[in-house]
Structure 1
Amino acid sequence: MSNKPILHRDDPKAEPLVGNVKVTRDDWLNVAMDVLISDGVEQVKVLNLADRMAVSRSSFYWYFKSRQQLLDALLDRWQATNTAALIAQAEAPAETITAAVCNVHHCVVNPDLFDTALDFAVRDWARRSGKVRRMLDQSDARRLEALKRMFMRFGYEELEAVTRARVLYYMQIGYDLAQLNEPVEFRLKLLPYYLLVFTGVQGRPEEIEAFTNYAKRFWEGEET
């Protein structure tokens, strides 16, 4: 493992931070998030984070009373990003249900909207913590409710809307978990058929083209 500090800011325009510098609350959170994703919650420890940033651990206690408070802050950030983003995309204006599903799938391709690695890290954490399991269950329920309401906006009966919401949501979780590493062009060729499976109707060509252009902005550079 490299001995270089991994301290970073959320603001990409900010000066990169290295060495023995004053760190902020967000710095501690950013590095804790990195460790949670890469190594699991057990490694989110004050001394470990301080070593990774090459700073004294004393500054941690300016911002957090305890490690538990840091862990709670990580969960708050997860809720405020992943869960909030998926719900917002489900509620975004759309002319058709296929356009609405494309809005939701912005979360699939845009890591600034939805961090898949973070979601899996929290799911792994939930296997070890009853509190986190309850929070995850509540988050899943909120996400599914938003997707159900999305389908109902376009005239689906409630039970069908529930079913389609579950297919859409759990299919994506399984898809990400499988880590298929498909070529980008193949993924996008499947889009019209996914839309048909999820909604029961054909997507409009302009919707498919718009989503394809959106996805390519984020998938550019992936192996094909």
Structure 2
Amino acid sequence: MNTKPVLHRDDPKAEPLTGNIKVTRDDWLNVAMDVLISDGVDQVKVLNLAARMAVSRSSFYWYFKSRQELLDALLARWQATNTAALIQQSETEAETITAAVCNVHRCVVNPRLFDTALDFAVRDWARRSGKVRRILDQSDARRTEALTAMFARFGYAQIEAVTRARVLYYMQIGYDLAQLNEPVEFRLQLLPHYLLVFTGVEAQPAEIEEFGTYAKSFWEESI
């Protein structure tokens, strides 16, 4: 679940700001990210962000030359989090292909690895911007290539690895988009069957148990 960001000045763990500085560059980025997710890119405007933080809009230009630079920074952060996390999880060492897919599925349940709401916000943005569409296409290609390489490591022929990677990736996008309100227990009950569909291999009970414990820890946090 997306929560509004805590500004640096309101974070009890943060070092005090000096001088007349009331917000940091990360504050501008975090609030802009929140607006992008909740209201869309059209509302990511300097005046709107300044009002949310109760600061002068002029302070924006201490950190960014223009609104476009801020938008570029949002895309860069999305790439450095969501895309990087999925690729990293696909490359994580695993003894079996089913364990490898469970590693990837950690992105599904752990919002600290992969922000699904942000991914949807960027996809919506891409419908209005050719530039963002190209960046999104490149990101999707990088993600599916990483998943393809994951299947190939476990001996799948190239065309089968490509197919299974695409099924795994695009099924998850559609699954998230449907926003199914499923009980945690039911989702975990389906896990071994999903893994069999994705891989053609039955998962080991220990793999199912380990992923279930991991997933429940994050689902319980969101309640």
Range into which the TM-score falls when normalised by the shorter chain: over 0.9
Number of corresponding residues: 216
Which residue of structure 1 lines up, in the alignment, with residue 135 of structure 2? 135
Q: Decide whether the 8 Å contact of 1:7 with 1:53 is kept in 2.
A: no
Aligned to 1:8: 7
- Give me the whole-angstrom Cα distance separating, in 2, the residues matched to 1:29 and 1:172: 27
Q: Distance in 2 between matches of 1:159 and 1:151?
A: 10
TM-score, normalization by structure 1: 0.92
- Cα RMSD (Å): 2.0
Q: Determine if contact 1:64/1:70 at 8 Å carries over to the other structure.
A: yes
2:104 — aligned with what? 104
Instruction: Decide whether the 8 Å contact of 1:6 with 1:53 is kept in 2.
Output: no
CA distance in 2, matches of 1:6, 1:102: 29
Contact 2:7 / 2:23 at 8 angstroms: preserved in 1?
Answer: no
Q: Distance in 1 between matches of 2:109 and 2:87?
A: 16
State how 1:174-193 maps to structure 2 within 5 Å.
Answer: 174-193=174-193
TM-fit CA distance, 1:221: 5.6
8 Å CA contact 1:8–1:16 kept in 2: the answer is no
**Equivalent residue, structure 2, for 1:79:** 79
The 2-side partners of 1:194 and 1:116 are apart by 20
Distance 1:222 1:67, change over 3 A: closer
Work out the CA distance in 2 between the residues paired with 1:125 and 1:170. 19
- What displacement does 1:129 show? 0.3
For 2:115 and 2:46, the matched residues in 1 are separated by 24
- Matched with 1:91 is 91
CA distance in 1, matches of 2:82, 2:12: 23
**Aligned CA distance change for structure 1 residues 130 and 24 (closer, same or farther; 3 Å):** same
Deviations 1:43-62 (A, max 9, x none): 00000000011111111000
1:80-125 deviation per Cα after TM superposition (whole angstroms, max 9, x unaligned): 0000000000000000000000000000000000000000000000
Structure 2 Cα separation of the partners of residues 196 and 12 of structure 1: 45
Output the CA distance in 1 between the equivalents of 2:59 and 2:13: 20
CA contact (8 A) 1:41 1:125 kept: yes
Distance 1:203 1:36, change over 3 A: same
Match of 1:185, as an amino acid? E
Distance 1:71 1:221, change over 3 A: closer
| TM-superposed deviation, 1:14 | 2.6
**Which residue of the partner structure matches residue 199 of structure 2?**
199
Q: How much identity, in percent, do the aligned residues show?
A: 80
Q: 1:175 to 1:197 in 2, by over 3 A?
A: same
**1:159 and 2:159 equivalent?**
yes
Alignment-mate amino acid for residue 29 of structure 1: L
Shift of 1:8: 2.5
Give CA deviations for 1:114-142 in whole Å, capped at 9, x if unaligned: 00000000000000000000000000000
Structure 1 residues 221, 23: CA separation in 2 closer, same or farther (over 3 Å shift)?
closer
Tell me how far 1:21 sits from its aligned partner: 6.3
Indicate the residue corresponding to 1:58 in structure 2: 58
The answer (yes or no) to whether the contact 1:192–1:202 under 8 Å persists in 2 is yes
